[in-house]
Amino acid sequence: MESKIPTSEVVFQSGIPTLDQLLGDKGIHVGDWIGIAGEPGSMKSVMCTKIAGEWLSNGTGIVIYTCTETGKNNIIRQFDNMGYDIDDCLDDNRMFIIDAFTPRATPPKADAISRKVEEFLRLPNVRALKQGGARILFILDSLAPLWPATVKAREVFSVLMQNLKPVVDIAVFTLQWAAAGHEFGWGAGHMVDIIMYTGTYYQDEQKYWIQIAKTRYNKAKSKMYDFSMNENHEITINDPLLINGRFKDVREALESMKYANRAEIQEKIQRERNMLVMNQNKQLKELTDKIAEFLKTMHCHV
């Protein structure tokens, strides 16, 4: 099906200024389909929340947020934790949450999700918002439950594209590497316009990295960047990560980071074990002293 919403020169900011710069053309274009793949806990959902929150805060339009790995209430809490109060947006249909996680809610299937989107877009006030120029941002976090087998990945994604490409302006999808094979995966990668990989590494504490792996405009391709979120929930992408003094592709860098701080991590583990043993010895001594005192008291009574 040919898209009725072609890719255009209309650009929207993601809410992450350094990301917009890295994308190479000051932001995300209407018509872009974006894939964010990475390991669990690497801020994929946080990035979705940030993009959606800014979309609503700036009055850009409507957000349709589909959750397949947590329930609706957790999504609302997720936005609240990031500083976005979405109650009014839910009440006036500027935001719609499709719960494809909770039992008896929407099944985590491409056709079922597409039907929910179409039903929502037919609501009178939503149609009025669209006629007034509101743009539609669709988020699916995550694709993994839609893929019963990797051979179905491309087929599932094709169904989503056929159904949603004509009616949404920008779409964002997340995917865990466990279901993607260290890529936005299994043949679906060539169907999106922008691919970002995220992950974690350790340097005294857990940190995060991001790689812009694919985009039509990007000149920072293949470099891995450190990124972080401060107490004000502002996400910043920092300097490129250098592994042994040079840039590496994502797989090679992952292996390097896995072992780069091995000695430091082992030393930290050993310190924690020593501390545990010391605490156990202290508790044992205290217990032994109490027993000895008890036996001494009993001996006196005898």
Residues 241, 266 share a domain: no
How many whole angstroms separate alpha carbon 50 and alpha carbon 136?
Answer: 16
Same domain, 119 and 221: yes
Residue 29: beta bridge partners? 11
User: Rounded CA gap, 196 and 174, in Å?
Assistant: 9
Assess whether 243 and 276 both reside in one domain.
no
In a domain, 269, yes or no: yes
Lowest-confidence pick of 22-26, 66-70, 197-201, 257-261: 257-261
Q: Is residue 34 part of a domain?
A: yes
How many domains is the chain built from?
Answer: 2
Least confident of 229-238, 272-281, 289-298: 272-281
Q: Looking at residues 278-300, what average pLDDT do you find?
A: 79
What pLDDT, on the 0 to 100 scale, is given for residue 117? Answer: 95
Residue 192 lies in a domain: yes
> Residue 148 falls within a domain, yes or no?
yes
Whether 213 and 234 share a structural domain: yes
Collapsing DSSP to helix, strand or coil, 109 comes out as coil
* Prediction pTM value: 0.77
More confident residue, 43 or 259: 43
Q: How confident is the model at residue 299 (pLDDT cuts 50, 70, 90)?
A: low
How high is the mean pLDDT of the chain? 80
The b/e string for 190-219 (b: 16+ C-beta within 10 A; e otherwise) is: eebbbbbbbbebeeeeebbbbbbbbbeebe
Do 203 and 61 share a structural domain?
A: yes
Q: What is the mean pLDDT of residues 193-216?
A: 81
Check residue 3 and give its pLDDT: 38
Mean local confidence (pLDDT), 63-72: 95
Residue 254 lies in a domain: no
CATH number at residue 95: 3.40.50.300
Q: Do 79 and 203 fall within a single domain?
A: yes
Return the closest-CA partner of residue 176 out of 48, 75, 40, 33. Answer: 40
Same domain, 154 and 296: no
> Element (H or E) spanning 267, and its range?
helix 262-301
Amino acid present at 11 = V
Domain assignment present for residue 6? The answer is no
Q: Are residues 184 and 299 in the same domain?
A: no
* Cβ atoms of residues 67 and 98 within 8 Å: yes
Give residue-wise pLDDT tens across range 235-273: 888 877 654 444 445 555 555 555 445 555 556 556 766
Helix or strand (DSSP H, E) at 68: none
Identify whether residues 172 and 297 lie together within a single domain: no
* Residue 97 lies in domain: 11-248
- Dist. CA 12–CA 60, nearest whole Å: 8
Residue 115 lies in a domain: yes
pLDDT at 277 over 60: yes
Q: In this structure, is residue 4 part of a structural domain? A: no
Residue 37: burial class (beta carbons within 10 Å; 0-12, 13-18, 19+): buried
Note whether 38 and 44 are within 8 A (CB). Answer: yes
Label the pairing between strands 11-12 and 28-29: antiparallel
- Give the pLDDT confidence of 210-241 residue by residue, as tens digits: 888 888 765 555 677 888 888 888 888 887 76
Q: What is the pLDDT of residue 6?
A: 44
Question: Are residues 238 and 270 both part of a single domain?
Answer: no
207 and 277 together in one domain? no
pLDDT of residue 275: 78
Together in a domain, 267 and 239 = no
pLDDT bin (cut points 50, 70, 90) of residue 296 is confident
